[in-house]
Chains A and B, each alone.
Chain A
């Protein structure tokens, strides 16, 4: 999730740059094409109009020739198609497409084109020119009222069309050039976007990494500050915040540790006095009350010791380098330490370790704290006559320490909560302990680079500590 953010920023910026470049090219190109188009159209139209007027003049001048001949001559001279139209705009004579007119065909009179002279009318003014219209041949049509004196009868208009289209090849090369420029601009913009976003993303990635380390508990970590820009300022303020957080957390941890420490002295005096009283108490009631008082003192002691252990496990300066630890030896030592207690409580304590060593790289002190607390917890919560089994194994590249008991078990709803400080599952209120045992296991397992969980069990409880397996394992 953290890795995806800078990558997406890079992608988005690159894409945005490319799109902006593309839009600019398209809009500019479009405007250019439209302007050129309009210009060339008006040039073409003027040409057509010239041809029409010439045709009209020719009609008036050349009486001897047939109507068709005149049109054809004009068409040949102006390279257009010229048509003579009647008052209702019906075609009277047609020069045909200019491409089909050859020099030879000009001489032959056309029988079909024979018509009446054109009616008189205003000669030059173009009355109704169809608006220049683009089609495949890019040709406009221009109508001219051909009412010169002497025009063949019936001819009211001259229509000129299919004139030469100017600028066609120029337009083509302009469009090609525009396309090439657009592609180049898009590529250049994308590269620029990539470069800029990398420059933005790299310090952000570093900052995110520092933030991740911080979230992971490395309170001493700081972001690299480069430059005076917004990101540099962000890094600087992140570092200020980190310093603040570190100071606060350290102060809090020191406070807890000091408080737990300070509890030790009055508790020592209290305990000694209660023990002295116990020696001299004659009455059974006093003895009972003293036992109760001592039990409560013990609770306070356990609480203080637990808090001290926790604050030590979580203190930032406590990260000590790991070294190879054989889990079998560690577990056997932990079981040794509690075996007298287990036997006295009427429990059957079994240790199952494989012959091959299971080695992890960890801080042995902390790992022992985790394992001892786990075994201790199992003994505490298993009723007399029960069984506590613990063992060591390797599974899918991780080393495993497990502790099983056939005690009351942990309900599914509690599998996460039991690791919280001072959480006590319902029905365990009368049990001994400070409520910190599993919180200490969790902290110690984490501090040694592992994890702990309540594993599914048919009956009772199964707790597992998992650690990365070292290649030193057989």
Chain B
């Protein structure tokens, strides 16, 4: 079980975040102050730290730097309200691995946490492995199932193959013709490219947290589609 340290001064945010992470099977410890968080991280060595920028005893960036200077190598996810580029660069220069803007979506936060953990402690999935991870989705190829948390998503076989194909090639851009060839298995000239759009739209409606604002399968204008990384 992964152990996560949450350093956040607001009790309401910390409690709901802890509950959300707890439901996903993480073991969460909450610290209210930066100093307390750093002390805890030193002593107990959590797998991952979620760090708020505004803390009563100083800036999250400073505590981030302090943890790094203490030799702590765990992934650190920064929570900030400002989405200025200045803050982003600053946050990552301070040794943070990723950042999220408040108010975040819980699913997105969980997906980031999972991705950070996979990156830090070894990728559990290779393109050929039976279990694949896409955002906060878990794809089980042997059972042909897609789960978000405990919830099972009902995909058609074609949608499932599409998602697996994207999961095996994260970030790579595919034209509609390429998708027809690799997922449908037809020659590209034998199938109407327009119908790809229809299937992508249905897939999004099932896997996206908010289908009107897709964040998993993205459109690349003039080319085709890619999986968000």
Chain A interface (Cβ < 8 Å from any Cβ of B): 261, 264-273, 275-276, 279, 297, 301, 305, 308, 312, 332, 335-336, 339-345, 349, 351, 365
With both beta carbons as reference points, the residue of chain B lying nearest to A368 in the complex is identified as: B85
User: Out of B10, B83, B220, which one reaches A336, CB within 8 Å?
Assistant: B220
Whether A271 touches B201, Cβ cut-off 8 Å, given contacts A276-B20, A341-B213, is no
Partner of B16, one of A273, A344, A345: A273
Closest Cβ–Cβ distance, residue B27 to chain A (whole Å):
18
A351 to B223, CA, bound (A): 13
Q: How far is the CA of A268 from the CA of B13 in the complex (A)?
A: 6
* Residue pair A268, B102 in contact (C-beta under 8 Å): yes
Given contacts A265-B13, A340-B219, A344-B213, 18 further A-B contacts (CB under 8 A): A264-B81, A264-B102, A265-B10, A268-B16, A268-B104, A270-B103, A271-B103, A272-B106, A275-B106, A276-B20, A308-B81, A339-B219, A340-B213, A343-B197, A344-B201, A344-B212, A344-B214, A345-B212
CA distance A361 to B218 in the complex (A): 31
- Chain A residues, CB < 8 A from B82: 261, 308
Kindly provide the distance from the CB of B7 to the nearest chain A CB, expressed in whole angstroms. Answer: 14
Could you mark each residue 105-122 of chain B with 1 if its beta carbon is under 8 Å from any beta carbon of chain A, else 0?
A: 111000000000000000
Which A residues lie within 8 Å of B13 (CB)? 265, 268-269, 272
| Residues on the A chain within 8 Å of B10, using CB | 265, 268-269
Q: Are A340 and B107 in contact (CB under 8 A)?
A: no
Task: Decide if B192 is an interface residue (CB 8 Å cutoff).
Answer: no
Q: Is the CB of B20 within 8 A of A275?
A: yes
Report how far A59 CA is from B218 CA in the complex, Å: 137
Chain B, interface size: which category?
A: 35 or more
Please give the distance in Å from A235's CB to the nearest CB on chain B: 37
Tally of A-B residue pairs with Cβ under 8 A? 85
What are the 4 tightest A-B residue pairs by CB atom distance, in nearest-first order?
Answer: A269-B12, A272-B16, A268-B103, A264-B81
CA distance A341 to B211 in the complex (A): 8
Give the chain B neighbours of A276 by CB distance below 8 A: 16, 19-20, 23, 106
Question: Which residues of chain B from 138 to 196 have a CB within 8 Å of any chain A CB?
Answer: 149, 151
Query: For residue B204, which residues in chain A have a CB less than 8 angstroms away from its CB?
Result: 344
Taking the nearest CB of chain A, how far is it from the CB of B196, in angstroms?
11
Q: A325 CA to B74 CA in the complex, in Å?
A: 39
Cβ contacts A to B, 19 pairs, < 8 Å: A265-B81, A268-B102, A269-B12, A269-B15, A272-B19, A275-B20, A276-B16, A276-B23, A276-B106, A297-B103, A305-B83, A308-B82, A336-B220, A341-B214, A342-B219, A343-B197, A343-B201, A344-B201, A344-B212
CA distance A266 to B103 in the complex (A): 9
- With A266-B12, A272-B13, A273-B16: A343-B106 Cβ-Cβ less than 8 Å: no
Bound CA–CA A275/B212 (angstroms):
17
For B215, the closest partner residue in chain A by CB is A340
The smallest beta-carbon distance between A336 and chain B, in angstroms, is 6
B221 adjacent to chain A (CB < 8 Å): yes
B105 touches A275 (CB 8 A): yes
- CB B205 to nearest CB in A, in angstroms, measures 8
